[in-house]
Structure 1
């Protein structure tokens, strides 16, 4: 679905490249979490994927096409939900009439169900909604496009706790096997039960590209009364004890993505060896 090969990108010739020889292959049928510290280049990478920026060198291909070429045949299969957005002063119905026709697989029935689930008012203009309501509408519209590639930048920002729960529910139940979702977020807890593959950016490179199955096969996430022990690769103090990461000794365990992110960002080289 998404193929990134030998990608190099810089905003100007005078600057150091933000990305250098970036490589990635993402298949359909996945929900991918794109993680990284502030300034790691997550939003820039998303814009390269959808064609809002052009690679300096190398290539990005979506379903075999270069997104920078802006072919209508590809644009109708890609939907980008940015972190910051602006809504026109029109009703939900008029917005849908004006924009749904760009997406051949648009599912009106799904949209109405999501609007009901999110309890969105149908008697207000979009610019009169709260930030959280606007975000819920955009999430509903994005899922209803049924695009092959959905790119969501911080989708849970501005959502209250019940809405985050609905978001996880509708994401899990509204996707087809030929779709790929890429979620860039700092709110790891909001999406960790959804994603099945993790990409982690640091200093312009992927320091991890793993499925959750691969991670759980190599690492064990547990709680302990002490951080000591030969096999402890990383630990964090929590009420009542410690969260620890150890080498997997058999079977598999649930992956604590937030703990994993902290471990790779702040842990030792030994820790990083397990996720290369």
Structure 2
């Protein structure tokens, strides 16, 4: 559904933010896009939805060139940005204005999500807190039923119960013909949600792996002493001993710790990536 080949992008002809980047994504999956501050995650999302244009290379989304901004393309792609700016209108007025742009928009779903997020339908957008506005826009984004849904730091501004509700809603909404990319620094919010991990580093996607493949190659453990692990790759001090990423020689089952995995990739990049070559 998303096919990117040798994409290079930079701002105002300055040094490239993305360079010779390749990425091929299929529908039916939730992708977690991870990277350092300034790595180019938002730039990549904006190239995918056609708000920014490649300096070189190609980007095809659902068979369309995003840079053309055709109505057929825009009806099937939705970007939820990190920073949201909303007009001073009621939720219902916002819905009446913007929902018609999306042919598959489901008003019942929208109001269902608002109920789950405990947002009063009568509210005016500008009278709400940042977190409440974020919940409205998450609800709107999901109700579009767009084939490609891009979310940039969607859990920023959400409290802990709302983050749990966000994960529940996202997990229940994905369809076989849809693709979701969630870019975030709050990686613990994604642990139980995504099924593919993308890591953007050095202007490229350096890792693109399904979660079950990561846990097949690596084990994530809590140990009292590092001597307990025969092949540790990365460790962090924990409340009781150490949290460890190790080579999974014994084919043990463990749960992916997204934050620790990301830190391990950045710290021991070659050793981690060699497990997937």
| Shared fold (TM-score, shorter chain, > 0.5) | yes
- What residue number does 2:42 align with? 43
Distance 1:84 1:125 in 2: 18
Alpha-carbon displacement from aligned partner over 1:158-187 (angstroms, at most 9, x marks no partner):
001111111011111122111100000001
Task: Give the Cα separation in 2 of the matches to 1:130 and 1:227.
Answer: 46
Output the aligned Cα RMSD: 1.2
Q: Following superposition of structure 1 onto structure 2, how do residues 87-102 of structure 1 map, counting pairs within 5 Å?
A: 87-102=86-101
Residues 234 and 271, structure 1, Cα contact 8 Å, conserved in 2: no
* Counterpart-to-counterpart distance in 1, 2:8 and 2:269: 28
Write the distance in 2 (CA, Å) between the matches of 1:131 and 1:16: 34
Distance 1:271 1:200 in 2: 12
**Residue 244 of structure 2 is aligned to residue 244 of structure 1:** yes
Q: Aligned partners of 2:7, 2:213: CA distance in 1, in Å? A: 25
Other structure's SS at 1:20 match: strand
Gaps of 5+ in 1: none
Structure 2: gaps spanning 5 or more residues:
none
After TM superposition, list the pairs within 5 Å mapping 1:68-107 onto structure 2: 68-107=67-106
Report the counterpart of residue 169 of structure 1 in structure 2: 168
Counterpart residue number, 1:4? 4
State which drifts further: 247-256 or 1-10: 247-256
What is the alpha-carbon distance in structure 1 between the residues aligned to residue 15 and residue 120 of structure 2? 48
Structure 1 stretch 241-250 or stretch 30-39: which is displaced more?
A: 241-250
Distance across 2 between alignment mates of 1:77 and 1:199: 22
Q: Does 1:225 align with 2:224?
A: yes
Mapping 1:125-164, distance limit 5 Å:
125-164=124-163
Report what 1:272 is aligned to: 273
Residue of structure 2 in register with 1:256 after alignment? 257
Tell me the distance in 2 between the aligned counterparts of 1:268 and 1:131: 37
1:251: Cα distance to partner? 4.8
Instruction: Answer whether contact 1:117 1:166 (CA < 8 A) is retained.
Output: yes
Bigger Cα displacement from structure 2, 41-50 vs 225-234:
225-234
Deviations 1:99-125 (A, max 9, x none): 111111111111111111111122321
SS of the counterpart of 1:235?
A: strand
How many aligned residue pairs are there?
A: 275
- 3-state SS of 1:260 partner: helix
Secondary structure of 1:233 counterpart: strand
TM-score by length of 1: 0.96
